[in-house]
Amino acid sequence: MAQAYMTETGGGGTGQDRERTRLRRLVGRLFGGWRGDRRIWRRGIVLAVLAVLVALVMVLHAQVPNAVGNLGSLTETFLPWLGVAIPLLLILALVRRSATALIALLVPTVVWLNTFGGLVTSKTGAGGDFTVVTHNVNADNADPSGTAREVASSGADVIALEELTETAVPVYEKALAATYPYHEVVGTVGMWSKYRMSDTEPVDIKLGWERAMRTTVATPDGRVAVYVAHLPSVRVKLEAGFTARQRDKSANALGEAIADEPIQQVALLGDLNGTMNDRALNAVTAQMRSTQGAAGSGFGFSWPAAFPMARIDQIMVRGMEPTASWTLPETGSDHLPVAARVTIDTSGS
């Protein structure tokens, strides 16, 4: 009987015991040769230096100059992704058996967690009386009707669409008419609302054609000034770097318009072709609050839709409290729609 039991359990132990044994052997292979080896402090100096450099870029990203190819803005656009270097350097440090590199890796780890750790956890809350959605629908969208149905299914009170074409506008108007009786289109941007809109006008963002608008939405909880904007695209070119001069100029003009807005409650919806970390958008971001940063879950990356790497589609507010922020499922666009729910407080207006 004892012999049968040993055979059945694989040599006198449970499966869990065998797993523990394998784990001890693996740890022994990784770290067994470290004991008594003084070279663990001399090896991996280059890896340690790289770890410190990653940390310095995250801490001092505002000091990376924009004079050459807008390198600073490019770094800030993809700043969270510097964290990918940490596990890569960790693997190399273990392979090299370098205690110096492992200790140095604590520096970028702490910096990344301090900078972006708050975005990893969910800050979504209950409540909110005003839901908005913004979506760059893509001028080449082959299914505008399906895209319209997708964004309308969010239950938003207001929907902002960017990159509209003359041929697509009637399709969106027809698809959204039943739920959104009020709408305005200015150039290539438009807004659909469940509530009455007034004082709609284009916003001059120094382009020579219309890609931004402003309107007043009469919500049950008070008036809200809503801006819809599609800032110029940026490009990464080998010969020129991160080309964003026109985007930066338009961001400054948009910031001036919002600063002059007399209504205290303001929402900005749109494709800003930049992240909240990008210093070039300071004219806007310095006076408004990101709903994703305040009430989102995760980074909320919105572009490109197939594998989102950056949040360049933004919902920002002033004079309102964000309670939730999220991305919607992929549509026929190369951007994901983004949504937010906020609480309107007109007591101080």
Distance CA 162, CA 218 (A): 22
Distance CA 311, CA 19 (A): 42
Does 241 have pLDDT greater than 50?
Answer: no
- Contact yes or no for 171/145 (Cβ under 8 A): yes
Q: What would the mean pLDDT of 197-214 be, rounded to a whole number? A: 96
Q: Give the H or E element holding residue 51.
A: helix 45-59
Does 345 have pLDDT greater than 70?
Answer: yes
Distance CA 74, CA 79 (A): 8
CATH of domain 130-344: 3.60.10.10
- Using one digit for the tens of pLDDT, what is the confidence trace for 274-320? 999 999 999 999 999 999 999 999 999 999 999 999 999 999 999 99
Give the ranges where 32-84 is alpha helix by DSSP (H).
45-59, 71-77
pLDDT at position 154: 94
Query: For residue 26, what pLDDT band results from cuts at 50, 70 and 90?
Result: low
* Spatial CB neighbours of 220, under 8 Å, sequence gap ≥ 6: 129, 195
Per DSSP, what are the bridge partners of residue 184?
Answer: 191
Take residue 71 and report the two structure tokens written for it: 């390198």
- Using one digit for the tens of pLDDT, what is the confidence trace for 118-135? 888 889 998 899 999 999
Phi, psi of 206 (to 5 degrees): 60, 45
Give me the residue label for tokens 């070279």. 39
Greatest extent of the chain over all pairs of C-alpha atoms, in Å:
90
Q: What would the mean pLDDT of 11-37 be, rounded to a whole number? A: 63
pLDDT at position 285: 97
Question: How far apart, in Å, do the first and last CA atoms of the chain sit?
Answer: 85
Residues for the chain: how many in total?
349
* Spatial CB neighbours of 14, under 8 Å, sequence gap ≥ 6: none
Query: For residue 13, what pLDDT band results from cuts at 50, 70 and 90?
Result: low
Does 341 have pLDDT greater than 50?
Answer: yes
Does 348 have pLDDT greater than 60?
Answer: no
Distance CA 202, CA 188 (A): 11
Take residue 7 and report the two structure tokens written for it: 């055979």
- Find, among 332, 291, 348, the residue nearest to 314 by Cα: 291
Residue, of 219 and 7, whose pLDDT is higher:
219
- Contact yes or no for 281/291 (Cβ under 8 A): no
pLDDT at position 168: 97
**CATH 3.60.10.10 residue window(s) in the chain:** 130-344
- Using one digit for the tens of pLDDT, what is the confidence trace for 168-190? 999 999 999 999 999 999 999 99
pLDDT at position 17: 77
Does 11 have pLDDT greater than 90?
Answer: no
- Amino acid at residue number 158: V
* Spatial CB neighbours of 345, under 8 Å, sequence gap ≥ 6: 265, 319, 320, 321
Q: What is the pTM of this model?
A: 0.85
30 by DSSP, 3-state: which? helix
- Using one digit for the tens of pLDDT, what is the confidence trace for 76-85? 999 999 999 9
